[in-house]
Amino acid sequence: MQRILVGFIIALLIGGFLGVLLGISKLADETLGSLVIALQSVPSIVWLPIALILFQGSPLAILFVVVLGATWPMTMNMRMGMKNVQPILLRAAKTMGYSGGELVWKVMIPAAIPNLLTGARLAWAFGWRALMAAELIGRGGLGRTLMDARDFFNMDLVVAIMVIIAAIGLIFEYFIFSKIERRVLSRWGLNTN
């Protein structure tokens, strides 16, 4: 859990920053944005051999893979949130004297909060999958235990670990992200209920 939580927080920070940058800068979007799109299509497990070489097999290798798996969905959702701010909000803010950084922090980022939440939800899911895949080859954790169970033909343990992985995913989805989503949608007047 420590690996996914730390990786998730790092991915939110990096992805959020990159998403804001891509959303407000046409030059960054046309250059760095293409790289982000390309990196998003690379499965996170592909980074594991590089991570193991870079970090000499330390636990940072798995964290690196989790961060890479979670950063790109966060970046793309935040980018879309920034680009889809309603023009009327921007015009009203400019009429009230907002410009530059103030316009970004006080208007655009708050307007992009629903997209930020979607990005966070996807970042969690992609990071969780990346963690399980990285642990298959790495050391410790549910992924490594799953691999050991497979090696010893212990199918009961394999199924039990699969159930645990799914249960943890459901717990985070229903008890954390769904509750936050309801509050955010209600606060932003987007609640359809």
Per-residue pLDDT of the chain (193 residues; tens, 9 = 90+): 888 899 999 999 999 999 999 999 999 999 998 899 888 888 888 888 888 889 887 888 889 999 999 999 999 999 999 999 998 988 898 889 888 888 899 899 998 988 999 899 999 999 988 888 887 776 667 777 888 888 888 888 889 988 988 898 889 888 888 888 888 878 777 665 5
pLDDT at residue 139, as a whole number: 65
The amino acid at residue 51 is: A
In this structure, are residues 28 and 22 in contact, taking their beta carbons and an 8 Å threshold?
yes
pLDDT at residue 144, as a whole number: 78
**What is each CA distance from 76 to 17, 98, 189, in whole angstroms?**
11, 26, 23
pLDDT at residue 27, as a whole number: 92
Residue that the structure tokens 């209920």 belong to: 193
pLDDT at residue 141, as a whole number: 78
Return the C-alpha torsion angle 72, 61, 177, 190, nearest 10. -10
pLDDT at residue 161, as a whole number: 86
CATH superfamily membership of 2-187? MetI-like (1.10.3720.10)
In the structure encoding, which two tokens stand for residue 95, read together?
A: 């009429």
Q: How many Å separate Cα 136 from the centre of its chain?
A: 21
pLDDT at residue 68, as a whole number: 92
For the chain, the maximum distance between any two Cα atoms, rounded to a whole number of angstroms, is 69
pLDDT at residue 49, as a whole number: 85
